[in-house]
Structure 1
Amino acid sequence: MKKHWLETILKELHSEAYHWSRQCCSFDEERAKDVLQLVYLKILEGKAVYKEKSQVKTWLFSVIRYTAYEELRKGNKNSSLDQLPDIAYEDDLPENDSHEALLQALPDRQKEVLLMVFYHDMTLEQCAEVMQLHIGTVRTHYDRGKKRLKDWIEKTRIEK
């Protein structure tokens, strides 16, 4: 792959890549920037290679997703039990009912699928490629995530 073509594609997709990186990093701006920088380095150094099996955007989102998880794992190797997040139960409403809080309260896979579909205009098939899951699994997470968000939104309307 030619370096000039690669740089052009990365520039075109930078805004979407940054937003996806931010979403993969739980909306932490600094971590998202670090992850995106690592992704660009991986690509430009040839450690992550586009093999033209999928769309460039799908491939780039996959690289960002796995780099974000690698960084998250590195950072959490020595975490204590005090630093573990509270367990969220299915019926628990997030304390803040903003869109971001509602999305963050979803299980990771449901959140990722909904973010890719609604914020990045990806198909469920593309989501399956990015997440390396079967299409049926992605459809299940998509449906469950939408249902849970709908239930939470209805509950917050009733409470107000």
Structure 2
Amino acid sequence: MNRSQLDHILKAHHRDAYLWARQCCSFEDELAKDVLQQAYLKILEGQAKLKDASKAKTWLFSIIRYTAIDEHRKAGKVVSLSDSYDLEEVHEEVDATDYERIIKCLPEMQREVILMVFYHQMTIAQSAEILQISVGTARTHYDRGKKKLRELITKVQIQKEYGK
């Protein structure tokens, strides 16, 4: 694939790529910009090669995800495997319409699958490919994530209604 084709792909998916980088970086804008820039450099320098142009978005999201993981590792922000599957507590200051903070309360894998499917209009199979997990596992994270998201939103609404 030549440079102009890569430029076209990157420009076509730039907005989604930035939003995905932001989500992979716990919604930290500056870190997301750095990660996105590093991912673009990997692509333009030929460290990451696109084999199937029909999977350009999936390929780009994978590169961004793993670049973000590398940055978290460098910064010492590694989450243990058991921590990434536990449901975080909802704090009282979370507003029922503050979906960004509510989504942050989901376990990492569930959050990533939910964001890709709902926010980036990807299929569960595409999400599985990006996360390098089986489609069945991705489907499980998706279903559990939806249930937990519903519970979290309900819990926040009840806390707001009763002032707890």
State if a TM-score over 0.5 links the two structures. Answer: yes
Structure 2 residue aligned with 1:92 = 89
For 1:106, the equivalent position in structure 2 comes to 106
- Percentage of matched positions with identical amino acids: 54
Deviation >4 Å, runs of 4+: none
Contact 2:87 2:107 in 1 (8 A): no
Report 1:40-79 matches (<5 A).
40-52=40-52, 55-76=55-76
Quick one: distance in 1 between partners of 2:47 and 2:28?
25
Q: What secondary structure sits across from 1:51 in the alignment?
A: coil
Return closer, same or farther for 1:91/1:132 CA change in 2, 3 Å cut-off. Answer: closer
SS of 1:143's equivalent?
helix
The alpha carbon displacement at 1:2 in A equals 1.0
Distance 1:5 1:28, change over 3 A: same
Task: Trace 1:117-136 onto structure 2 (pairs within 5 A).
Answer: 117-136=117-136
Pairwise CA distance, 1:53 = 7.8
Question: Helix, strand or coil for the counterpart of 2:143?
Answer: helix
TM-score, scaled relative to structure 2: 0.87
Give the deviation of 1:93 after TM superposition.
2.0
AA in 2 matched with 1:23: Q
List runs of 5+ in structure 1 lacking aligned partners. 80-86
Could you tell me how far apart the structure 2 residues matched to 1:106 and 1:141 are? 10
Q: Is structure 2 residue 2 aligned with structure 1 residue 2?
A: yes
Q: Is the 8 A contact 1:128 1:135 kept in 2?
A: yes
Aligned length: 153
* Equivalent residue number for residue 145 of structure 2: 145
Amino acid at match of 1:93: V
Contact 1:104 1:111 in 2 (8 A): yes
User: Structure 1 residues 90-99 or 40-49, which shifts more?
Assistant: 90-99
**8 Å contact 1:94–1:101 — kept in the other structure?**
no
Q: Is the 1:94–1:105 Cα contact (8 Å) retained in structure 2?
A: no
Normalising by structure 1, what TM-score? 0.89
Residue type of the partner of 1:73? R
Deviation at 1:152, TM superposition (A): 1.4
